[in-house]
Each structure stands twice: as structure tokens, then as C-alpha cells.
Structure 1
Amino acid sequence: MADYKTLRTTMVDTQVRPSDVTKFPVIDAMLAVPREAFVPRERRDMAYVGAHVSLDAGRVVLEPRTLAKMLDFLDIRGDELVLDIGAGLGYGAAVMARMAEAVIALEDDASRISEAQTALSEHGADNVVMHEGELSAGAPEHGPYDVILVEGGVETMPEAILDQLKDGGRIACVFQEGALGIVRIGYKIDGEVHWRFAFNAGAPVLPGFEKHHAFTL
């Protein structure tokens, strides 16, 4: 039987802390949330390696370093509402639930939502609401949001998502530009989102966030 608690501590000490993640709430949440409970059962031995964990349909659970650095930049506070786009089996939502007032976790697959709800309930993340819908549409009925995290790659960002961010809010996502992936943090000021480079990382592009290439002869 794997000693997941020791593996979790090692993950934080070797993957998270050395990556300039300094905010205690992020470190504390990643030490507390059992990542193995939020990956497919047959891939639990991969839960603490420094890589994405595959789900189905080309989706992944983001590698610990990427998620931790995104959360460090977002600096979620205890009175804030978060939208988690592409929540998968709920790991990122469970981590953010320990920092935010509430998390709306958006998924487009009913079976993933069912698994996530079970895991979130078992591990006391009762301030997370799973929401089923098209990822690129967001969840406007629960917004607007102080923080939006996109847990996957983006080639183009739908305006519908940016419209759901409060003025003064922050959004983080991995912009995939060919083989190169860049995490940017967007800050909404006077109704407009201003993007800043954060760090390099890659992730599979989420459905609905692909760039549509015009067909030419």
C-alpha cells in the first residue's frame, strides 16, 4: 500500500516549493488534499509524479507544479468566488476550496462530474459546486467571478469567459502557441483584461478553446 501522505509531502518539497511557490495557503492546501483521490483509480501510482495525469478524451489533471504556480499568481482570498473551467475529477477545485469562499467547478462530462462529486464529498470540499456545461461558455448563472482558472490549454479565449470576470478579478490559463505553452495571468481593469506573462508550461487544448483555422486553397 503506497504511503500517499509521504508522497504528497515529497511532491510539495521537490516540485512545488522549488518552483517559487511561496504563498502558504497554496502549499498548505496541496499538503492537505489527497491528489490520489482525484485521479482515475488505475492511475493512482502516477498521482505524485511531476507530470499531467491522463483522464479520458485527451483531458488531463494538471501537473502539480503548473497548478501550484498558477494558484500562487492568482492569490485567492477567503471571501472570493472562483470559476474552475475543466475541473476534471475535482483536484484543482478541492485545492482552491481551501482558499476561496466557494468554487464553481465546470465540466462537460456527466461521468467525470459524478466521480468528482463523490471525491469532493468524501474529502469535505462542501463549498464546491459541480456544474455541467460547455467549457467555453463558462457558468454565467453563478457569476461574476473574482477568479477564473482554466485547467487546460487555450488557443483562443472566448469573450463569454472574460465577460464573467469581475472588474479587479484575475484569470489564469495556459496559452498553447504551437508546441510552446505560456501561462498568462489576466487582470480585468475598467472592463478590459490585460494579460501578463507568468511562466512556461504546456497542457492539452480544451474543447471549445481551439483556434479555428480558415480554409484556403
Structure 2
Amino acid sequence: MTTESKRGRMVDHDLRDRGVRDERVLAAMARVPREEFVPQHSRDSAYDDNPLPIGDGQTISQPYIVAFMAEAARITPGDTVLEIGTGSGYGAAVLASLAAHVHTIERHATLAARAAETLERVGFDTVQVHVGDGTVGLADEAPFDAIVVTASGPEIPSPLLEQLADGGRIVMPVERRRGHQQLMRATRSGDDFAEESLLGVVFVPLIGEHGYQHGR
């Protein structure tokens, strides 16, 4: 089976058949070559619906979760998006296929450099990769229409909430009880934030000033 066939099967079987309905998200997932964002030895598994290790104790999320979070963020073509946890750059590429501009923050400099190189090579030139503590956000580039966080914290960091535009959405896994994470969406309306619980998930811990101080 060709890479394109595997990608098409992933979109139809792992995404559309499991409830992802946003056609723009499905088209983005069909466009982005996930095999370019995984280690060479994992390329045969690039379109399996599983997370894969990418080094530094981090993983590339399973395609369904990437699509689900992108759909939950309700991204429109003119949006500016902040991603916390660049990892391989795959999620940023999907977000860049939906938005006008993406800023993405990675705390591991080696992963950030690798992701930036891959994104440039594959042609996603509307993504800017930053190295730093994602829990403090990126105030100089705020406000953001959507924020997507790819690690689980004890709560949604207050700096990220503050950096949302009015009407903006943040999608993030939160560990309300040890070992039990829920994917949450918070939508800003003035100074108020309406929270929704979307899905049970498993993510690596969000490390930083407004997250966990070390791995869990």
C-alpha cells in the first residue's frame, strides 16, 4: 500500500468513522505527510492510529487525537494559533493547514530545532517555532484565536487564558485527579471562561512555571 493510500485509509477509518466531521480538519490530515515527522525506523507505522516516540521522552500524538483537538479548537482560516508542545512539528503542520499563522513552543531545544527543520523542508512556512516554557505562553504575540496544549497539567495555566482573544478557544488535557486526564475546552467571553469536558485522554505532563515542576 502506498503512503497516500495509508493516509487516505487513516482519514476514512480512524478519523471520519470515529466522528471527526470538520471537512477542513479532515483535509488537513489528508494533506500533512506524517511520515516526515516520525523517526526513520517508525515510518512504516506512521499512519497507524498510535502515538510514536520521537526522542527526549516525548511522543507524536495519535492521528485521531490530533484531529480531535484541531476540530475542538474551531480554527478558522484567518486565525492566529498558539501550540504548546511542538514535539515533532506534526500538530503544528496540521494547525497551519487550518489557520493563518501558528506559533509553537517547545521546551526541548533539540526537538524544536528538528521540528523547525522538518516544517521548513515540508513547506509549512507559516509556523514559527519557539524554545521556552510553554506554560507562560507568548505574550508578545498575543492575543491568540486558539491555543492547543499537547501536555497535561493540573489546570489551564492562567497566562494562556489571559492570552486568548475574546471568543478564543483553548483546548488542553487537564489532570483533575491523579491518573485521570480530561481534554478540556475553555472559551473566552470577556473576562469569563466557559469550560467543557470533551474526552478522556493520556498525555505527557506539562512541565513549567504554571504546570508541573518535573515529570510525573
Give the alignment's TM-score, normalised by structure 1: 0.91
Query: How far apart are 1:19 and its partner, in Å?
Result: 2.0
Query: How far apart are 1:203 and its partner, in Å?
Result: 1.1
Equivalent position amino acid for 2:4 in 1? K
Size of the alignment, in residue pairs? Answer: 211
Counterpart of 2:203 in structure 1 is: 203
Deviations 1:148-190 (A, max 9, x none): 0001222222211111111110000112332222111110111
Counterpart of 1:181 in structure 2 is: 181
Is residue 148–residue 171 contact of structure 1 (8 Å, CA) maintained in 2? yes
Counterpart of 1:75 in structure 2 is: 74
Query: For 1:205 and 1:3, how far apart are their aligned partners in 2?
Result: 35
Query: How far apart are 1:211 and its partner, in Å?
Result: 8.0
Query: For 1:58 and 1:163, how far apart are their aligned partners in 2?
Result: 29
Is residue 136–residue 159 contact of structure 2 (8 Å, CA) maintained in 1? yes
Is residue 59–residue 206 contact of structure 1 (8 Å, CA) maintained in 2? no
Q: Report the identity percentage.
A: 31
Query: For 1:98 and 1:40, how far apart are their aligned partners in 2?
Result: 22
Query: For 1:40 and 1:154, how far apart are their aligned partners in 2?
Result: 27
The equivalences for 1:121-136 within 5 A come to 121-136=120-135
Secondary structure at the aligned position of 1:182 is classed as strand
Is residue 155–residue 211 contact of structure 1 (8 Å, CA) maintained in 2? no
Is residue 84–residue 134 contact of structure 2 (8 Å, CA) maintained in 1? yes
Query: How far apart are 1:69 and its partner, in Å?
Result: 1.1
Query: How far apart are 1:116 and its partner, in Å?
Result: 1.0
The equivalences for 1:25-64 within 5 A come to 25-64=24-63
Is residue 207–residue 213 contact of structure 2 (8 Å, CA) maintained in 1? no
Query: How far apart are 1:115 and its partner, in Å?
Result: 1.1
The equivalences for 1:1-217 within 5 A come to 3-176=2-175, 177-208=177-208, 209-210=211-212
